[in-house]
Amino acid sequence: MLTQSTQFKNLQIFNHPLIHHKLSLARNHITPPEQFRRHLNEIAGLMVYEVSRNFSTATYTVQTPLEPALGKRLSQPVTLVPILRAGLGMTDGILRLFPEARVGHIGIQRDEHTKLPVHYYSHFPQDISAGPVIIVDPMLATGGSAVHAADHLQKLGCTNIQMICLVSAPEGVQKMLASHPRINIYTAALDRELDQNAFIRPGLGDAGDRVFGTPA
């Protein structure tokens, strides 16, 4: 249940009652870390079901208890790339639904003075470019981290890249559109704006701090 954004051609917005219900619980400032993590993981699992709709498959023969039957399997390896650290809060939910996926990691933090991304770590499967890649991050705020991650993945030869995020700001979606117009972004909500500190409004606060219970 996706709605194409009328404002951004690279943005698909989920219109699903369960996702909206769980996102509202995650937004609530009194939701404790263990429940916040659970909501993020449950939303991520619901989202990836739709995002994986166009993955390519190959036909093969499977032996049932009674006779051979035609089956299908994914024809390319799929790699999740959570942006550390907050992206880890969604990864388990995707893996519960899709345990075959591989997981790479990219560490990008925002310089609190310049608001620019700082790349401090990355580790990926050697053949990451052999199949679809899904960038995972709860927040698409300024777009700096997402653009940096996409730049890095493209340098590794990745051509089939998508992004999943819980909430997004118009500024971040626009930055991704300008830098990577072919990357589709899937979000549960397009929020109003960024504030002077580059936080999404209304947003859900600092997702990394809320996932790991570390106060800002």
pLDDT at 115: 67
Of all helices (H) and strands (E), which one includes residue 106?
A: strand 105-110
User: Which residue do the tokens 């730049």 mark?
Assistant: 151
- Domain spans of the chain, in order of start: 2-53+76-212
* The domain over range 2-53+76-212 is classified in CATH as 3.40.50.2020: yes
**Ramachandran quadrant class, 165 (left: phi over 0; alpha: psi -120 to 50; beta: rest):** beta
Pairing status of strand 139-140 against strand 161-168 = parallel
Tens-level pLDDT at each residue, the chain (216 residues)? 799 999 999 999 999 999 999 999 999 999 999 999 999 999 999 999 889 988 999 999 999 999 999 999 999 999 999 998 889 889 999 999 889 999 999 998 877 777 678 889 999 999 999 999 999 999 999 999 999 999 999 999 999 999 999 999 999 999 999 999 999 999 999 999 999 988 999 999 888 888 887 765
Tell me the two tokens of residue 62. 């499977």
Q: How many CB atoms lie within 10 A of CB 35?
A: 13
Residue 158 pLDDT: 96
Helix (H, G, I), strand (E, B) or coil at 63: strand
What does each C-alpha distance from 41 to 31, 137, 171, 213 come to in angstroms?
14, 12, 25, 16
d(CA 107, CA 117): 10
Supply the DSSP string of 121-188, one letter for each residue: EEE--TTGGGS-EEEE-SEESSSHHHHHHHHHHHHTT---EEEEEEEE-HHHHHHHHHH-TT-EEEEE
Buried b / exposed e over 46-55, threshold 16 CB at 10 Å, is: bbbebbbeee
Tally of CB atoms within 10 A around 118 = 13
CB 110, CB 75: distance < 8 Å:
no
**pTM for this structure?**
0.92
